[in-house]
Amino acid sequence: MAPTIKQIAKLANVSIATVSRALSGDEKVTSETKRLVLNAARELNYRPNILARNFVKGKSNIVGLILPDISDEFFSEIIRGVDETSYDHGYYTMVISSHKNRSLVESVHTLMSNGLVGGFIILIPFMDQKIEAALMHERVPFVIISGDNNAGEFDTVTTNNYQSAFMMVEFLVGKGYKKIAHISGPADNNDALLRKKGFLDACSKNKIEIRNNWLLDGDFTMEGGELAINKILNEDDKPEVIFAANDMMALGCYNAIQSRGLKIPDDIAITGFDDILISKYANPSLTTVKVNTDRIGKLAAERLIEKMDGTNNKTAQKIEIESELVIRNSC
């Protein structure tokens, strides 16, 4: 049904090889012949069969994008970033979500040398042995998006969690804060761990006392933030500012604080991490760290396509996405 190069060949009175060459811009074909072929192609409304092309070339211009089984406000931005870059390079984007019926490892196996994708990008919340093993045997190029860049000798795009947390603490110190508490995220989340580490190191460097009971455990949820802060809000000696490892927990702190009639930032200041949609609109607006999510997708895709094109096969690169402090009114 769909027109093929054979039909173009017949219409233009040339061989299919010439058609193929004319369409792919081979310099050897006469401009006259090229004109003929292109006209015929336009007339027939020809679209090359991508499947056939990839198949015969033995490689695919499809970029796989493997997502973990959690939902996240930022995923659509990453997807968009990847697809935009893919498109600009003439590639397609295939999303493989993990979910109850398909684990992250299984997702990798799905793509393993079935020829569908020519490479893939994988979002890994926490690198474990299973995933690493699966990736070790992978034959197509891939890039990892992760909070952590210590993940073996793989190409990785990371957010600079550590540096950003560090930066946040130094900013607070610069504003004169000395008594700083931290609410961390889940223990099995690399982003959370690195943010905590950044906090701790920055405190050490700036001679800020780290009190154990001001090192609170959270879980990245609003309730978790509320729960955590309530543990120290009753004490006489309160911290001046609380640095929550993500905005959701920071907003949980807002609730706890405001329901006690305390004022942010006068009685106690709050900062977060992520710059989710609402943070700008919270009252007071939340000081936080903004990660350039679409750049993550873009750069991961660019690096992957370099590898797929064979343009740049140098050893694994670690790309860190710069993030920025968003200073608002909560401190």
Partner DNA sequence: ATCACCGATGTAAACGTTTACACGATAACT
Partner DNA sequence: AGTTATCGTGTAAACGTTTACATCGGTGAT
Cβ(70)–Cβ(32) below 8 Å: no
Please list, in sequence order, all residues whose beta carbon lies within 8 angstroms of the beta carbon of residue 45, skipping any fewer than 6 positions away: 3
- CA 315 to the chain's CA centroid: 21
> 10 Å Cβ neighbour count for 54?
18
Among 116, 215, 319, 326, binds its own copies (CB under 8 A): 116
126 — phi, psi (to 5°)? -150, 120
Q: Which residue do the tokens 């684990």 mark? A: 103
Among 237, 281, 310, 315, binds its own copies (CB under 8 A): 281
**Restricting to residues 17-56, which ones interact with DNA according to CB under 7 A?**
17-18, 20-21, 23-24, 27-30, 32-33, 46, 48-49, 52-53, 55-56
47 near its own copies, rule: CB under 8 A: yes
Residues forming a β-bridge with 143: 121
**Shortest gap between Cβ of 36 and DNA (angstroms)?**
8
Among 7, 33, 49, 163, binds its own copies (CB under 8 A): 49
Residue nearer to DNA on the CB measure, 31 or 129: 31
d(CA 22, CA 28): 9
- 329 touches which of its own copies, DNA, none (CB within 5 to 8 A by kind)? none
Residue nearer to its own copies on the CB measure, 13 or 258: 258
DSSP codes, 152-170 = TTS-EEEE-HHHHHHHHHH
d(CA 82, CA 63): 9
Chain residues binding DNA by CB under 7 A are 2, 4-6, 13-18, 20-21, 23-24, 27-30, 32-33, 46, 48-49, 52-53, 55-58
Chain residues binding its own copies by CB under 8 A are 1-2, 47-52, 54-55, 60, 62, 65, 67, 71-73, 75-77, 79-80, 83-84, 87-88, 92-97, 99, 101-102, 112-116, 139, 222, 251, 255, 258, 276-278, 281, 283
